[in-house]
Amino acid sequence: MSDIEAHAKQLGRQTPMPDSPEAAQLDRVPNPHADTDYVARFTAPEFTSLCPVTGQPDFATLVIDYVPDRWLVESKSLKLYLGAFRNHGAFHEDCTVGIGRRLAGLLEPRWLRIGGYWYPRGGIPIDVFWQTGAPLPNVWLPDQGVAPYRGRG
């Protein structure tokens, strides 16, 4: 069994959408370039969760940047984890910060940030940002690329 197979339990298998973010399994795989500082980015432009008060859907673009150490997040498991929020009721802040903390706990990266760019609820856009600490001075950190709200879309 390879290192990837040992750590990516969902890769290459039919995997149903998890019922909730808590039930979702996030997999990690060994970083083949653990001796190098670089930024890996995941952008989820169609993230969806539910308002915990009204049950109505909320939509966001999530941008996750991290400088890996020994581990990379396996992208299929990340996609399933993020998809599990579709039936999950939580405020924007809880979703964004909770995702960042779960990834930081799993990956133990050198650095991680998440930007949640939410479409308006009640006429007010709510953007949420979280990071594990100061960015590393020796990595190129591009702008997250999501414009301030002006009727996004």
| 43-79 pLDDT tens trace | 999 999 999 999 999 999 999 999 999 999 999 999 9
Mean pLDDT value across residues 6-11: 61
From 27, 58, 65, 95, active-site residue: 58
From 37, 51, 94, 127, active-site residue: 51
**Residue 38 pLDDT more than 90?**
yes
pLDDT of residue 37: 97
Residues flagged as binding site: 73-75, 92-93
Sheet holding 40-50, edge to edge: 40-50, 57-67, 111-118, 127-131
In the residue annotation, 58 being an active-site residue is answered as yes
Q: Are 69 and 109 in contact (CB under 8 A)?
A: yes
Neighbouring residues of 71: CB distance < 8 A, sequence distance ≥ 6: 28, 29, 30, 31, 106, 107, 108, 109
Residues flagged as binding site for substrate: 73-75, 92-93
Report the predicted TM-score, pTM, of the whole model to 2 decimal places.
0.90
Residue-wise pLDDT tens digits, 74-108: 999 999 999 999 999 999 999 999 999 999 999 99
In the residue annotation, 95 being an active-site residue is answered as no
Residue-wise pLDDT tens digits, 121-142: 878 889 999 999 999 999 999 9
